[in-house]
């Protein structure tokens, strides 16, 4: 890095103008030089120290004059790094094979920030080259080859055309799919002349994908390509790269193993940094699919079928034919689980390889490595590799709110839910490349909301609504009915409340309550709206107790809905939850778990109330609509159910794993099996007749499977 680049880096990190950054850098250099000239030592905490060391003259032979001479003494500047500085450098250098993040540089160097400039068109990439491994497991020698260090110029071509963005949070299971935001610029890959170690199952996957590409027109495999990394001089290399030129789609397909087969160290575990890599790809217009290695070994046909389903889901291209999803989900492992899997030879077992044996004297392995003696390292990427998400909209909104004379503001989320912040303390923060909005809340809970989930931010002129209640010793029973009605509506609408509460244990105090939950036989936190129907059926007086998150205790507590409440105010916001356990999940739990709890599940009387209070976005969601059709069958209205099942095309993809038709048929089959299991149950549940219900669902199944609505793929 030269001086000009340093000035530019300072400007980029501080937000100062280049001219001001230049003055700062020049001032620092002149100050250091002046102090050293005076013989002073310069000590910078957590960094290091500069000082002068006097070097005595040395004797040397002058070739031109052919005589021995002695050089004069001189002052030499020495730099001594401090312990913390050296520790920070060492933590940024990790082993390539340990992290397995796909980058392929092995030289430790500090490079200047890379600016996005027009770049020459990359050389023609070589698609569909034949692989010398011929689709067999790769258990040969593991090795890494050095790559030439070069400054990258990032070249982009076209925009991502599809609106299927699902956020940037890390995945918890395989397969997983990450998709860019609509209109994201697409980074062009570069040819890779060196390559990296090929995983055990990658040749098998590559061979199957090549066959798939022969079925799908215009989709090819790009061999030996890399994606240059912003602010780095090395690259990410996809395990397999799919390219669809006509639609300008690049897909990085990754094969994740729980541990390295040679070093035995955990890789691809939760929190290991794969998500940083994935976000780099999607922010540069690439899709990412991750499979577990075991899925490829056990069901390679299911893996390639999943890829076809993903492309069909993404593009809605009817020329892509697919089969029913047969790929079983695999839960992503933790670091400790990966260690145990290595100890148990889990990979060796499902790959049908000999067990790894390690003793004090000998180590035996079926796979050898050239890097055991010479470790290859690279600078581990940090958040500065990520292209930033556009924040200007939210920054300007926050600045606008800060100028308004109000104490609170309300964040409206895309899903219809809300949160309340204290106006002067709202801000945007970043964690591992993910941007969140956060700040102080009157509810004494600092909730962080992902920026891409925010619809709007609006000021609150009044924190409290007009719904209020106050205790009076002369009150009649009707007054307590009014209080319980306010509580019921707060539970149904997700309104936080502020109460003055006179507890037998802790005395009189005030507090904010959120996540209000009706409870009769105990609180149900995972579906808080399930108890609404019981309140309605038995009257407001059935609401004797409720649970809520208490701002004083910072935990869920039970409260009595009686004279212990001395004052009650409802906040001027709705659908406010610390943990957003949405209505559609409560509704799904009611429909799919009708035998779980006869008292707490309140089946028929709940449905209308939950639908009444459910946000429209959730009511229109596929989850709710399928469950609503299930409800009509349970209620005996078969033909209304058929209308709801057939309201969408059966081939409409909800996710790569599931189409609308598959979701409907799966639910119907679930109920057929459920009532088969309860045919011998002598007690009816809300007048449910298991035999009659089974016949109804079997009739629905026949109608659906024999109708033109079902698409044969």
What are phi and psi for residue 54, nearest 5 degrees?
A: -85, 125
> If pLDDT is split at 50, 70 and 90, which confidence band does 582 have?
confident
Two tokens, residue 324? 């029913």
485 is written with which tokens? 């009605």
CB-CB neighbours of 48 under 10 Å: 16
Return the SS3 of 79.
strand
Residue 597 clears pLDDT 80, i.e. is over it: no
Q: State the Cα–Cα distance between residues 632 and 591, nearest whole angstrom.
A: 10
Residue 243 has a pLDDT of 96
The average pLDDT across 307-323 equals: 93
Residue 313 has pLDDT above 60, yes or no: yes
Q: Distance between alpha carbon 334 and the CA centroid of its chain, in Å?
A: 16
Return d(Cα 461, Cα 421) in angstroms, integer: 13
Q: Which residues contact 70 (CB under 8 A, 6 or more apart)?
A: 57, 58, 59, 60
Q: What is the DSSP string of 363-414?
A: EE-SS-BSSSSS--EEEPP-GGGSPPPP-HHHHHHHHHHHHSS-SEEEEEET
Q: Which of 120, 118, 160, 105 is nearest to 284 (CA)?
A: 160
**pLDDT tens per residue, range 653-679:** 999 999 999 999 999 999 999 999 888
328 has pLDDT over 60: yes
Which whole number is the average pLDDT over 4-13? 82
Name which of 481, 479, 540, 545 is nearest 516 in CA terms.
Answer: 545
**Whether pLDDT at 107 is above 50:** no
Range of lowest pLDDT (320-329, 465-474, 607-616, 689-698): 607-616
Residue 600 has pLDDT above 90, yes or no: no
pLDDT at 339: 93
pLDDT at residue number 602: 56
Query: For 3-89, CATH number?
Result: 4.10.520.10
What pLDDT is attached to residue 583?
82
What was the pLDDT predicted at 92? Answer: 42
Instruction: Indicate whether 368 pLDDT > 60.
Output: no
- The confidence band for 139, taking pLDDT boundaries of 50, 70 and 90, is low
Task: Encode 8-73 in three state secondary structure.
Answer: HHHHHHHCCCHHHHHHHHHHHHHHHHHHHHCCCCEEECCCEEEEEEEECCCEEEECCCCEEEECCC
The lowest-confidence range among 186-190, 422-426, 530-534, 617-621 is 530-534
Tell me the pLDDT tens digit for each residue of 482-495. 999 999 899 888 89
Considering only residues 528 and 491, tell me which one the structure prediction assigns the higher pLDDT. 491
Residue 497: is it exposed, middle or buried by C-beta count within 10 angstroms (0-12/13-18/19+)? buried
Among residues of the chain, what percentage have pLDDT more than 70?
78
Confidence bin at 199 (pLDDT 50/70/90): confident
Residue 516 has pLDDT above 80, yes or no: yes
Report the percentage of the chain scoring pLDDT > 90. 37
Domain with CATH 4.10.520.10 in the chain: 3-89
Considering only CA atoms, which of 350, 356, 351, 352 is closest in space to residue 369?
356
Sign of CA dihedral 648, 654, 656, 658: negative
Other Cβ atoms less than 10 A from the Cβ of 77: the count is: 12
Inter-CA distances, 141 with 65, 198, 634, Å? 57, 10, 61
CATH: 3.40.50.970, 2.30.30.100, 2.60.40.10, 2.60.40.420. Which one for 392-460?
A: 2.30.30.100
Inter-residue contact 84 to 46 (CB < 8 Å): yes
**H or E stretch including 302?**
helix 300-315
> Mean of the per-residue pLDDT values for the chain?
81
Please say if the pLDDT value at position 128 is more than 50: no
CATH 2.30.30.100 domain locations along the chain: 392-460
* Higher per-residue pLDDT: 231 or 389: 231
* For the ranges 81-90, 137-146, 703-712, the one whose mean pLDDT is highest: 703-712
Closest CA to 125 of 11, 37, 250: 250
What band does 200 get if pLDDT is binned at 50, 70 and 90?
A: confident
Q: How would DSSP label each residue in 352-364?
A: T-PPPEE-SS-EE
Question: In terms of pLDDT, which residue wins out, 535 or 552?
Answer: 552
pTM above 0.85, yes or no: no
In the predicted model, is pLDDT for residue 365 greater than 60?
no
Sole residue written with tokens 């390539």: 96
Please tell me which residue, 680 or 166, carries the higher pLDDT value. 166
Q: What is the CA radius of gyration of the chain?
A: 32
Q: How far is CA 419 from CA 261, 580, 584, 623, 678, in A?
A: 47, 11, 19, 24, 43
| Run of H or E residues at 548 | strand 545-550
């Amino acid at each position: 890095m030269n001086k000009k680049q340093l000035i530019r880096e300072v400007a980029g990190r501080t937000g100062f103008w280049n001219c001001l950054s230049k003055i700062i850098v020049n001032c620092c250099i002149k100050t250091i030089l002046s102090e050293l000239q005076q013989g002073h030592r310069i000590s910078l905490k957590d960094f290091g120290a500069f000082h002068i060391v006097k070097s005595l003259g040395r004797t040397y032979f002058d070739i031109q004059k052919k005589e021995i001479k002695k050089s004069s003494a001189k002052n030499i500047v020495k730099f001594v790094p401090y312990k913390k500085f050296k520790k920070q450098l060492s933590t940024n250098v990790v082993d390539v094979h340990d992290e397995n993040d796909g980058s392929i540089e092995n030289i430790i160097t500090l490079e200047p920030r890379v600016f996005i400039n027009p770049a020459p068109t990359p050389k023609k990439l070589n698609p569909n080259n034949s692989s010398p491994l011929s689709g067999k497991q790769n258990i040969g020698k593991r090795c890494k080859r050095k790559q030439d260090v070069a400054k990258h110029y990032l070249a982009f071509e076209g925009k991502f055309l599809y609106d299927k963005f699902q956020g940037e949070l890390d995945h918890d299971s395989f397969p997983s799919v990450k998709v860019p935001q609509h209109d994201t610029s697409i980074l062009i890959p570069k040819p890779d002349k060196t390559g990296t170690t090929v995983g055990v199952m990658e040749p098998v996957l590559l061979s199957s994908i090549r066959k798939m590409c022969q079925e799908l027109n215009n989709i090819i495999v790009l061999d030996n390509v890399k994606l240059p990394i912003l602010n780095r001089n090395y690259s990410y290399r996809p395990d397999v790269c799919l390219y669809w030129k006509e639609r300008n789609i690049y897909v990085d397909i990754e094969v994740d193993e729980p541990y390295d087969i040679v070093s035995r160290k955990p890789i691809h575990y939760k929190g290991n940094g794969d998500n940083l890599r994935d976000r780099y790809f999607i922010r540069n217009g690439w899709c990412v699919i991750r499979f577990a290695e075991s899925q490829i070994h056990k069901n390679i046909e299911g893996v390639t079928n999943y890829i076809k389903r993903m492309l069909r889901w993404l593009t809605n291209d009817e020329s892509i034919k697919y089969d029913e999803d047969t790929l079983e989900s695999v839960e992503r492992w933790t670091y400790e689980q990966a260690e145990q899997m290595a100890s148990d030879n889990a990979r060796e077992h499902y790959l049908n390889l000999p067990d790894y044996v390690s003793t004090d004297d000998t180590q035996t392995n079926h796979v050898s490595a050239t890097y055991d003696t010479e470790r290859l390292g690279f600078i581990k990427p940090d958040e500065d590799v990520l292209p930033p998400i556009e924040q200007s909209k939210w920054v300007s909104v926050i600045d606008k709110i800060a100028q308004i004379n109000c104490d609170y503001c309300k964040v409206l989320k895309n899903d219809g839910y809300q949160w309340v912040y204290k106006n002067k303390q709202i801000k945007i923060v970043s964690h591992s490349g993910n941007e969140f909005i956060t700040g102080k809340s009157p509810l004494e809970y600092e909730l962080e909301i992902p920026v891409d989930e925010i619809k709007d931010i609006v000021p609150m002129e009044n924190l409290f609504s007009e719904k209020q209640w106050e205790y009076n010793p002369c009150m009649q029973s009707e007054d307590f009915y009014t209080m319980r009605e306010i509580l019921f509506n707060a539970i149904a609408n997700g309104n936080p409340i502020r109460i003055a509460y006179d507890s037998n244990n802790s005395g009189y105090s005030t507090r904010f309550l959120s996540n209000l939950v009706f409870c009769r036989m105990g609180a149900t936190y995972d579906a808080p709206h399930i108890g609404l129907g019981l309140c309605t059926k038995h009257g407001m007086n059935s609401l004797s107790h409720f649970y809520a998150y208490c701002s004083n205790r910072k935990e869920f507590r039970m409260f009595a809905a009686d004279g212990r409440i001395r004052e009650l105010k409802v906040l001027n916001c709705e659908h406010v939850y610390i943990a957003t356990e949405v209505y559609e999940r409560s509704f799904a739990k009611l429909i799919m778990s009708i035998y779980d709890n006869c008292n707490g599940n309140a089946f028929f009387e709940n449905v209308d109330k939950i639908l009444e209070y459910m946000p429209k976005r959730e009511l229109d969601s596929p989850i709710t609509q399928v469950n609503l059709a299930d409800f009509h069958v349970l209620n005996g209205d078969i033909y209304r159910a058929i209308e709801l099942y057939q309201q969408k095309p059966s081939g409409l993809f909800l996710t790569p794993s599931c189409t609308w038709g598959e979701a409907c048929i799966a639910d119907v089959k679930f109920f057929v099996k459920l009532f088969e299991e309860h045919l011998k149950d002598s007690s009816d549940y809300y007048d449910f007749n298991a035999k009659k219900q089974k016949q109804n669902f079997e009739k629905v199944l026949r109608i659906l499977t024999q109708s033109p609505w079902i698409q044969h793929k």
